[in-house]
Structure 1
């Protein structure tokens, strides 16, 4: 089926114009003009999302909860129905659509707002029940990524001592006793569209996990150039605490700093692994690109470790207000 005809499965006119959007790493995404409206048209990457029905079921659950919340400062995309589902299958691909949301501001420039919105997301989803089938098997599983790196061949032996020591530390923090919640799973300012209401997008990775994972991913993505200036971390943490509004337990607050280390080393290892294999997770990246990104992340990890005391102190100060 031609891509410009996919919108007809959702009861829309065929696309008169399709523009490829290349900002994402995983799915194929298009800006489609259908009649007088603009829409996001997306095909899920089946090699990443082995259970697309579970992905879309979780997205439906998120939409229902946030859409019916009595008080909410955030929203999520409204996916268009195709019959009794919010996705359609064509030529062995799963497609979904939602109306294009224009951006009024650069969310990446406002760490406090990013923290606030993702904190509120976790609070609103507190107690929600997701599809039992995981969206991505083993996502945010550090041991899995270490095994994959070992199988691919680690080109940087100098990092082994650092990563092995860190694995031990994280295992002591993230125990079975630490509560898991519904988290976004890919929390970063780029996944917020700032318009009349902030819209949280890229919900494919919504899953059960530690709140520290979303917090850590936010800090990592905001501090891409390093952690030497902690003003952004402080602002983000203040917003995150406000959005959560007292939901986190004491041991969860204590785990937040270690979420930064987890997410940074995890992504570094994933890029390092991709640099060693032909079939890459990060679509459109060369081996050299992946290696360079991995080296940046390991440098970032060292900065987060060096600034650990200051980051822990500001976390507790902001959450104790």
Structure 2
């Protein structure tokens, strides 16, 4: 077995003997390994504290969820970190921190290929909210402060516009005017959050944050649980709409092809209602279509603000990419406004 300087301390921390250690996946945030310990399989991650500056908050939230789910029979796995011998979810080795999680076999998808996959995805993410519904969401800590706060992101866009070094003319001026003209959407957001119950939400409901069975007939696990925070049901439904029901990826510049796949949208709707049955209130259900618009708008705010700030946050492959992403989301938001979906 290849030598890793952290191997012996990790084995001691979890009181296990590893028989093999192999690199897993191609993620860019955490260095990840598939671990064999006899017949048991695990995922070991070296946690990137440069991306997530508050691992203690992530650990706190995940501990809260672990305790809240004791005795519950979930329809999918939730591979939260395994406590070490000291009961901690992170293990420090020199200047690095690690965590060990159960390995779940299956298939990760980068995009929905069959309508059923959209329905199953929505059902699973709503099922996560239901599973955590007995947990007091007010106890959760913000792992990324203001992550889905539309008011905050709107103000950040205003600040970026006021301080930009770019010449705001032409297409850029049109995009700035469009997004600064979304006050009514921001007001609608504040109205909803004043009325809706605070939930434990996943907050990053992309299709590749699920593990499907090899035949894609069921969801085996909900993964990527670092963004578990307090939020609203429409956050998780909305990000599904943004990433699954759009006819083009978020960086696409095929402007004429950007729109809403209504069949996928309705599959997400049916799946989310099925997964949330008995827990989601009537008002929460009524808020879900707004979630698609809100999550599309908030990403438009963020992409445009980053462009105005000189592309300091999102990774880009060419100078205008964040501008193009903002235009992409403007077109999707307009398509969602025109969808005329009535539950």
Query: Is residue 207 of structure 2 the alignment partner of residue 204 of structure 1?
Result: no
**In the alignment, which residue of structure 2 is the partner of 1:129?**
136
Out of 166, 186, 189, the residue aligned to residue 170 of structure 1 is 186
Q: Is contact 2:118–2:267 with CA below 8 Å preserved after alignment?
A: yes
Cα 1:296–1:78 shift into 2, 3 Å: closer
Residue 123 of structure 2: aligned partner? 116
SS of aligned partner of 1:193: strand
Taking only aligned residues, the RMSD between alpha carbons, in angstroms, comes to 3.0
- 1:305 is aligned to 334
Query: Alpha-carbon deviation of 1:245?
Result: 0.4
Q: Structure 1 regions of 5+ residues with no counterpart?
A: 317-321
- Report the counterpart of residue 33 of structure 1 in structure 2: 35
State the Cα distance separating 1:177 from its structure 2 match. 2.5
Q: What residue number does 2:209 align with?
A: 191
Corresponding residue for 1:292? Answer: 321
CA distance in structure 2 between the partners assigned to 1:274 and 1:4 by the alignment: 40
| Structure with larger Rg | 2
Change (3 A) 1:261 1:44: farther
Quote how far apart the aligned CAs of 1:171 are. 1.9
Matched residues in 1 for 2:66 and 2:101: separation?
A: 12
Deviation of 1:154 after TM superposition, in Å, equals: 7.9
Contact 2:24 2:33 in 1 (8 A): yes
Q: Relative to structure 1, is the Cα distance of residues 170 and 33 closer, same or farther in structure 2, using a 3 angstrom cutoff?
A: same
* Distance verdict in 2 for CA 1:144–1:21, change over 3 Å: farther
Aligned-partner Cα distance in 1 for 2:15–2:91: 11
Q: Is the 8 A contact 2:175 2:326 kept in 1?
A: no
> In the alignment, which residue of structure 1 is the partner of 2:77?
75
Aligned to 1:85: 88
CA–CA separation in structure 2 for the residues paired with 1:143 and 1:307: 20
1:58 to 57, 61, 79: 61
Q: Which residue, out of 6, 23, 29, partners 2:27?
A: 23
Q: Does 1:159 align with 2:175?
A: yes
Distance 2:295 2:165 in 1: 19
Q: Once the 2 structures are TM-superposed, how far is the Cα of residue 236 of structure 1 from its aligned partner?
A: 0.9
Q: Give yes or no for contact 2:76–2:221 (8 Å, CA) kept in 1.
A: yes
CA distance in 2, matches of 1:60, 1:31: 22
- 2:282 aligned partner: 250
With normalisation by structure 1, the TM-score equals 0.81
Contact 2:108 2:212 in 1 (8 A): yes
How far the C-alpha of 1:128 sits from its partner, in A, is: 0.8
Secondary structure, in 3 states, of the residue corresponding to 2:195? coil
